[in-house]
Amino acid sequence: MVKLNKIYTRTGDNGTTGLATGVRVNKWDLRVRAYGATDEANCAIGIARLHVGNHAQLGKSLERIQNDMFDLGADLATPEPSEESGKKLDWEPLRIVQSQVDWLEAEIDRMNADIPPLDSFILPAGTALSTHLHMARTITRRAETLMVELNDISFEIVSSASLAYINRLSDYLFVAARRANGNGDQDVKWIPGANR
């Protein structure tokens, strides 16, 4: 259980922050930027939820995703010890698991079943809900690029489940945005410059 009595600690005034392991790193550290971007995506999803209206099922799914995003942030804030360090954590950290990825895939398939295939790229536009979901999608893509970059660094580990989750989430948000546009009826198609 999380208990926060004091919001400020002054420990970050020198430009560092503590990971869940207690290790202090610079606030510009790639791991910190990666979980910061997942937090930003979570906020964008929260803003989208303000516009769910009669999309009750979508609202419940987005709430679940927001909770999963906290799991992802906790996962990223708790680096796996590398084999080279020889150190082990003395507690079981919260991690993204395959069932969370599977749930996203099932939701994508369920929503996409009623949406006609695309015959053009679409703009992040249409309803307010759709537009906010597209914004959340682009922030999610940025989080994914930071996570992949982090994973490419020697001795840094980002789990395959976390990488799959963030990749699938942007797909989910794209399909959800089309669903919020009347199953694609209100999608705004891209008009290439040569055709305007």
Assess contact for 115 and 183: CB atoms under 8 A: yes
Does the residue 159 lie in any domain? yes
SS3 23: coil
Within-domain flag for 7: no
Residue 13, pLDDT score: 80
Residue 124 in domain? yes
Sign of CA dihedral 185, 112, 146, 15: positive
Do 17 and 73 form a contact (C-beta atoms < 8 A)? Answer: no
Residue 14: predicted pLDDT: 85
Residue 86: what pLDDT? 56
Q: Which two tokens stand for residue 183?
A: 């199953």
Question: How many CB atoms neighbour CB 16 within 10 A?
Answer: 15
CA dihedral 14, 154, 79, 44 (to 10 degrees): 80
- The CATH number covering residue 161 comes to 1.20.1200.10
- Nearest Cα residue to 183 out of 99, 108, 89, 112: 112
The pLDDT, as a whole number, for residue 41 is 98
Paired tokens of 74: 């906790």
Residue 69 lies in a domain: yes
Tell me the residue range of the domain where 163 lies.
Answer: 28-79+92-184
Total number of domains constituting the chain:
1
Six token digits for residue 33: 């930027």
Among 131, 135, 168, 153, smallest CA distance to 34 is for 153
CA distance 163 to 155: 17
Whether 14 is covered by a domain: the verdict is no
In a domain, 128, yes or no: yes
Q: Give per-residue pLDDT as tens, 87-127.
A: 777 878 899 999 999 999 999 999 999 999 999 999 999 99
Q: In the chain, which residues have pLDDT < 50?
A: 84
Q: Is residue 13 part of a domain?
A: no
Q: Establish if 1 belongs to a structural domain.
A: no
What's the rounded Cα separation, in Å, for the pair 167 and 143?
A: 9
